[in-house]
Each structure stands twice: as C-alpha cells, then as structure tokens.
Amino acid sequence: MLYDVVEIQKILPHRYPFLLLDRVTKLEKGVSIEGFKNVSISEPVFQGHFPDHPIYPGVMIIEGMAQAGGVLAFKSSTEEEQEDMSNKVVYFMSIDKAKFRSPVTPGDQLIYKLTVIKQRGSIWQLDAKAYVKDKLVAEAELKAMIVDK
C-alpha cells in the first residue's frame, strides 16, 4: 500500500460521499497508478440506482478512475510544485472511448489501473481501466488539467 484513504484526502479535495478511491497500491511517477475502491451496499447511490437491483453507476466508475488519475498527476509533480498543490485542483477536460463491459454490484472491489498516454505541462491524457478481480468492467481515455483553485 502506498496511500490509504487518509493520505488520499491530503492529495484530493473530494470527501464523502464523493471520494471514490480507497487506496493506492502502486504508483510510478509520470507513468502509471493502481488503486481500488470497495463497493458497499452502504453507498448512498444505491438508494436510487436501483433499490431492488443495485448496480454501481458507470459515471461513478469513471469518476473513481479520474480521482486515481488526479493522484498520479499530483504525485508526479516536482517537490516544489507539490508544496503549492493545496492551491491546485484537477479538472476534467474530456472523456473519450468510454465503455462499460459488465455490471458492478455491492461487494465488488473496483481495481483502477491507469497509464499515461501523454503529458504536456499541466495537461494529462490517461488510459483508464477498471477491473473486478481480473475482469475488465469499464475503460475510457481521460484528459485532465491541473489548474489554480
């Protein structure tokens, strides 16, 4: 384990119920990140999606992958840049090629695996995949930018 949820909260501004990354297990600065989110029936989203047939929404999977990408971007910056990160935030620029391949249900552990496609300045383009066990459940290309708050 590299970062638990307490450490992640020092990096990302997200909080309950919208912090969707429980732990970072691997990180290679400027290259890739792996982390996970444990999906529980206690998630507020299951009150309406769907009460009699709980399915974790694809948009939440995309957001969880994006949060992992935000950790990668922040942790890949120089030490001097990281000192100023409290005044920065990551904004989505685009989501492309999103595919949802299998439903995610309570009790599943979503494993996020992201690799950098391209990084220029404050703009990051990432190949993002989400797995349950070894099964690919979602994927997308994400583009984001680190900006001043």
Catalytic residues: 49
What strand order describes the sheet that includes 109-120? 23-28, 32-38, 109-120, 123-132, 135-148, 88-100
Backbone angles phi, psi at 139, to 5 degrees: -155, 155
Coil, strand or helix: which one is 24? strand
CA–CA separation, 73 and 62 (whole Å): 16
Give the DSSP letter string of 94-140: EEEEEEE-S---TT-EEEEEEEEEEEETTEEEEEEEEEETTEEEEEE
* Beta pairing partners, 140: 128
* Beta pairing partners, 76: none
